[in-house]
Chain A
């Protein structure tokens, strides 16, 4: 495995992905985009985990964790989309700013 891509490359890519996700989550107002940003962050973490696992080949914790994260992300996406759908029925909008029924 000596000719493999160094660990740092993976971490940089993951870092870029995570930052993109975070920035997207913070700056965008479209609920669907927010959900996708969350997916980006989760995938960045997944990438980090498998990359580290590649260095420490003796154990498989990293791969195991990434599977868990994929399952949780799928569930989260299902619930999140359902909420977005329900929200759209009520407010005819998918903007997070419009979720203000509890204010005043």
Chain B
């Protein structure tokens, strides 16, 4: 311990670098060399990277928990310096900090991450993209750690985008399936919408607060209490124009114009703007209404990915960010209310979508969206610790549920190779006796998520609902409509109870359908042997350990591979094997072996996670006053908590708390009881009856309220229409005019020029000979030409004549001197200087003789006008004269006309 603190002082805590770099090195090695290293080495590298990271995180946690530091810091380098308002310099460092919340998150990310890596090392064993998978997974852990450890919003944003990238890569991991690839794109694009908000928030913080670092942000929140003027739609005088033009018309269109095109702007505090913009980013990342649509589709990725990224870690980043910026959020009760209401609405709405799903992973996906809603209820009502505590417990039980589902799907894939069919709960049932470990861990996690007292989910969820009910955000500056409404807490409480009831129901519906009743996947035959061993080419000695099973996803990979390399014998077999029982699953339709439990590498993570799902709650069991984690986290939210207080007259730990716990427990009991009655005792008869009585509502719930269809009809439809317009422009303007027209011009020129290209060498030679003869004839004749330099003709009368040069030329000049005689002889002097007197015209003749004695001549006429007439006629003295018309002057003073003649 002494040595640790000596080597890693709190202000320069280099251990952070190890936490961060280990997964990055893992990603690098597996990504670049993974294919050559082989699967064993890839597994070792990935697990070692995460293991190192986990151990370093654990050490950091211990140092922080036992030391007297509020935060451990490490600055990698200074990144950017910005000029802020008032000439301030705003430094942005690549800085990392570990406080209580980060330390807890680090343990979750690396700990759960390690377990899921261990699980995947078995689950993905048959996949041809094994090294790619682990490279992405390690890269994800690096990005996630950057996100949570970044000490300012800019570094967080780097991690934020990094996890988005990895999420995209892993959702579309089997990119040759178009459905999966587009699910990845959907996740990326929907997240972009949210990221826009985060960028706006970042710009706002730089402008108003002049800092992005968490510490300074918490300390300088007063700078955010400045008013901002916002015109939500358009700052145009629509109201006046409308009122003037439509004075006589009825009221409602005018009212509409006033609502949608307001002329008077809204005055809001910068804190509200920034908090709302931040929340837009959080809603995208954490799948809240209306940006949740990507998360259910994200289940296209391998199941461990769903567990790690889309349940335990990445999707909670939004909650983490709201909690991290709690000091900013509490300044604006209105923004907090938006967060809480969005959370409550999402919690109920997503839970209702999960009620009748038949796909096991889809149930868990909607459950995740719903649980994220609960977390936002927590951070939105000011119960930051409770919200964050739910992140913590949810990470364990939801990861356990997903991995359990993966284990079941793994077992189903022995005979059902179609991805959708293998996840269909109608093909499962009765797995309790075949998969005891999966069954028990799944049951314990279900009890936790349902909120059965004593389990972890109970403590976190109940605390959220109690805080939502009992507390209010009391920011002194916020008055009237911007203050925290008193009725909101109880309303959210009721919505939360409703959501919790549905959660308990659908989770136990899934549990009973999967593990109880009769097995419905295939007819079980003892000692059944696969007549055509699946993907035989991949079997090696290792396979004996896990029998003839294939992980579903790995199987899919082999499938896709088979499409590419059809010549390969093993894959050819696999294809043929699949063909004869496509879409024909169920008892009596196909035969198969006894379903089996998953290997140890998959069940150990299940057991560890289940243990945390059961006992994790006692780290924050507030009603029992066993709350070490809560006390550990308290300093982080000290400033924010100061503005969150119990509503009038409610005692924080009084009798009312125990009373309000009853509906929560009742919700769990009612939900579980209903599921037990319908799916265990009646074997689903109730659901069928409900379907018969309310076919419309059932279908609507099954179709997830058709929100995806609504998006398709509006946003996607509009984009498609826009794309169509651009396509037309591309087709007609770019292709039609530019490409076709220029092709036509070039083509026409080509067909003209083609006439000259006969392909006969002699024709070319003849044209060359004629051309050379022509040039030769021209060159052999003398050509007289004179260049006249007459700039000084007007002033001094001096003109320089320069005869054109030529091979063997000699020149004879006539008229150069005043008397006008010729120079007589031909000389090589090309240049002559002539002085022209006023009012004189000089004719100069140049004769040129070439080497063959041929002659040629040219004539140059130089004229120099005398002084202007009116000037000469000006009478001397006397009264002022009429000034000569200016129009005349230029005419008189125009330079002498010069022209040369060619012979």
Contact = CB atoms under 8 A, between A and B. Distances in A.
B760 A26 contact: no
Most buried by B among A26, A34, A103: A26
B777 to A, nearest CB: 15
Given A22-B769, A26-B766, A26-B769, 14 more contacts: A25-B762, A25-B765, A26-B762, A26-B765, A27-B762, A29-B762, A34-B761, A96-B760, A96-B761, A97-B760, A99-B759, A99-B761, A102-B759, A103-B759
A87 B11 CA distance: 83
Nearest to B766: A26
B483 to A, nearest CB: 87
Interface in A76-104: 96-97, 99-100, 102-103
Interface of B: 759-762, 765-766, 769
Contacts of A96: 760-762
A80 to B, nearest CB: 12
Nearest to A97: B760
A102 B760 CA distance: 12
Contacts of A29: 762
B773 to A, nearest CB: 10
Contacts of B759: 99-100, 102-103
A34 to B, nearest CB: 7
Contacts, number: 19
Interface of A: 22, 25-27, 29, 34, 96-97, 99-100, 102-103
B285 to A, nearest CB: 63
B808 to A, nearest CB: 14
19 contacts: A22-B769, A25-B762, A25-B765, A26-B762, A26-B765, A26-B766, A26-B769, A27-B762, A29-B762, A34-B761, A96-B760, A96-B761, A96-B762, A97-B760, A99-B759, A99-B761, A100-B759, A102-B759, A103-B759
A17 to B, nearest CB: 15
A14 to B, nearest CB: 15
A22 to B, nearest CB: 6
Nearest to A102: B759
Contacts of A26: 762, 765-766, 769
Nearest to A96: B761
Contacts of B760: 96-97
Contacts of B766: 26
A96 B765 CA distance: 12
Nearest to A25: B765
A26 B759 CA distance: 14
A103 B754 CA distance: 11
A30 B769 CA distance: 19
A97 B760 CA distance: 6
Contacts of B765: 25-26
A99 B765 CA distance: 15
Contacts of A99: 759, 761
B189 to A, nearest CB: 52
A69 to B, nearest CB: 17
A34 B761 CA distance: 10
A27 B761 CA distance: 10
A102 B754 CA distance: 12
A99 B761 CA distance: 9
A29 B760 CA distance: 10
A99 B764 CA distance: 14
Nearest to A28: B762
Contacts of A103: 759
Nearest to B762: A26
A97 B769 CA distance: 19
A29 B761 CA distance: 9
A15 B766 CA distance: 17
A96 B759 CA distance: 9
A96 to B, nearest CB: 5
Contacts of B762: 25-27, 29, 96
Contacts of A102: 759
Closest 10 CB pairs of A and B: A96-B761, A103-B759, A26-B766, A26-B762, A25-B765, A100-B759, A26-B765, A22-B769, A26-B769, A97-B760
A27 B765 CA distance: 10
A100 B763 CA distance: 14
A30 to B, nearest CB: 11
Nearest to B773: A22
A80 B875 CA distance: 89
A47 B835 CA distance: 51
A42 B762 CA distance: 17
A103 to B, nearest CB: 5
Contacts of A100: 759
A97 B766 CA distance: 15
A100 B760 CA distance: 9
A22 B762 CA distance: 10
A24 to B, nearest CB: 10
A102 B761 CA distance: 13
Contacts of A22: 769
Contacts of B769: 22, 26
B4 to A, nearest CB: 81
A26 to B, nearest CB: 5
A71 to B, nearest CB: 23
B105 to A, nearest CB: 72
Nearest to B769: A22
Nearest to B761: A96
Nearest to A27: B762
Nearest to A22: B769
Nearest to A101: B759
Nearest to A29: B762
Contacts of A97: 760
